[in-house]
């Protein structure tokens, strides 16, 4: 795989050479040399764009992303980059605006980051991610804009409503299992934890490394304001399970230790980790389930098995306390 943005992205909207040439002409980045669709992922249409000036990423935001949220995502990347967080920057056209329209979709060009996302997760990856996540949480504190988490408890209920009738096609008794978990989380979800800007989707394919050092955080499409510790719970699910589905407490211990060196956790955040980890597992179970059952015809996109997160959810349901995640 070549360096750069081969990551959690997809192609839903095809664009013509003429459309792209006209779009790019509004930017001071040279003429188009080549354009290649990126197939991995689930949310937006993404292309690797090569111009006379270099490599870029061209993103078309699909219907699942609200147009009103786009200024938040773009402002967040600019804000984080100014604070020293390694993330892509939106490229502004000659009119001073980054956001324009292409093929009937809101579209942006963003800078290209070098690096590879890790296919085989090692302890040092988890350490780097822990430090970077805490740094991002601290850097995001000064952002003036705010975006509520559309995939919180209420969002999970809406996804469930769209999947319930067919959920058992994917796994036996899955509809009942999800319904019971939604009810349990609604009663146990924390009410007062430290909040801020979270990434909410910091999976391995959204983190680049060069020579074992983290070189970039990408894809802020799900970024929002929520409990900071929920972002940690997302990472426990994404980084600390082995391919066969077993939880790796050593990776979790390393991630949590390095996070806390940058941003100490309050006692309430530590105590809430098991519930937050259950919620994060359910969130990805539901979004994967919805996409599995409602994939758009002809979309160039990799479907992801929701049963992976059913297994992770069952692990978290058995956890008796945060100590089982290796937290010291």
Q: Which domains does the chain have, with CATH numbers?
A: 17-111 (3.30.200.20), 123-325 (3.90.1200.10)
Q: Calculate the average pLDDT of the chain.
A: 92
265: region left, alpha or beta (phi > 0 left; psi from -120 to 50 alpha): beta
Query: What's the pLDDT score for residue 2?
Result: 32
Q: Which of 254, 294, 72, 82 is nearest to 170 (CA)?
A: 294
Q: Helix axis angle, 174-188 relative to 307-318, nearest 10°?
A: 50
Query: What's the pLDDT score for residue 3?
Result: 34
Query: What's the pLDDT score for residue 42?
Result: 53
Q: pLDDT digit string (tens) for 265-309? A: 999 999 999 999 999 999 999 999 998 998 765 555 567 899 999
At residue 1 the predicted structure's pLDDT band, cuts being 50, 70 and 90, is very low
- 195-198 and 224-227: which strand pairing? antiparallel
> Using CA atoms, how far apart are residues 44 and 99, in angstroms rounded to an integer?
15
pLDDT above 70: residue 12: no
Which run of H or E residues covers position 234? helix 228-239
Distance of CA 145 to the CA centre of its chain: 19
| Cα angle 320, 325, 326; round to 5 | 120
pLDDT above 90: residue 37: no
> Using CA atoms, how far apart are residues 118 and 150, in angstroms rounded to an integer?
28
At residue 319 the predicted structure's pLDDT band, cuts being 50, 70 and 90, is very high
pLDDT above 90: residue 314: yes
pLDDT above 60: residue 64: yes
At residue 4 the predicted structure's pLDDT band, cuts being 50, 70 and 90, is very low
């Amino acid at each position: 795989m070549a360096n750069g943005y081969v990551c959690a992205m997809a192609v839903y909207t095809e664009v013509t050479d003429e459309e792209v040439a006209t779009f790019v002409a509004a930017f001071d980045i040279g003429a188009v040399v080549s354009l290649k669709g990126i197939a991995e992922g689930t949310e937006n249409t993404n292309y690797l764009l090569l111009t006379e000036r270099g490599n870029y990423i061209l993103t078309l935001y699909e219907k699942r992303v609200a147009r009103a949220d786009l200024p938040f995502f773009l402002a967040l990347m600019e804000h984080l980059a100014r604070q020293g967080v390694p993330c892509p920057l939106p490229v502004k056209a000659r009119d001073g605006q980054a956001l324009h329209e292409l093929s009937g979709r809101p579209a942006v060009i963003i800078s290209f980051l070098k690096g590879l996302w890790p296919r085989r997760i090692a302890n040092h990856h988890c350490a780097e991610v822990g430090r970077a996540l805490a740094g991002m949480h601290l850097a995001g504190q000064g952002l003036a804009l705010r975006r509520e988490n559309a995939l919180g408890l209420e969002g999970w209920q809406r996804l469930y409503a769209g999947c319930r009738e067919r959920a058992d096609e994917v796994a036996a008794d899955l509809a009942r299992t999800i319904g019971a978990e939604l009810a349990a989380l609604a009663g146990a979800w924390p009410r007062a934890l430290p909040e801020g800007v979270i990434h909410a989707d910091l999976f391995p394919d959204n983190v680049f490394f060069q020579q074992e050092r983290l070189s970039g955080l990408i894809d802020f499409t799900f970024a929002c304001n929520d409990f900071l510790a929920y972002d940690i719970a997302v990472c426990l699910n994404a980084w600390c399970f082995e391919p066969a589905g077993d939880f790796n407490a050593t990776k979790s211990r390393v991630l949590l230790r390095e996070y806390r060196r940058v941003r100490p956790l309050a006692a309430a955040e530590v105590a809430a980790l098991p519930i937050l980890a259950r919620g994060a597992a359910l969130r990805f179970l539901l979004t994967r389930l919805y996409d599995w059952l409602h994939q758009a015809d002809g979309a160039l996109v990799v479907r992801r098995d929701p049963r992976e997160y059913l297994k992770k959810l069952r692990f978290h349901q058995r956890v008796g306390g945060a100590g089982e995640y290796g937290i010291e």
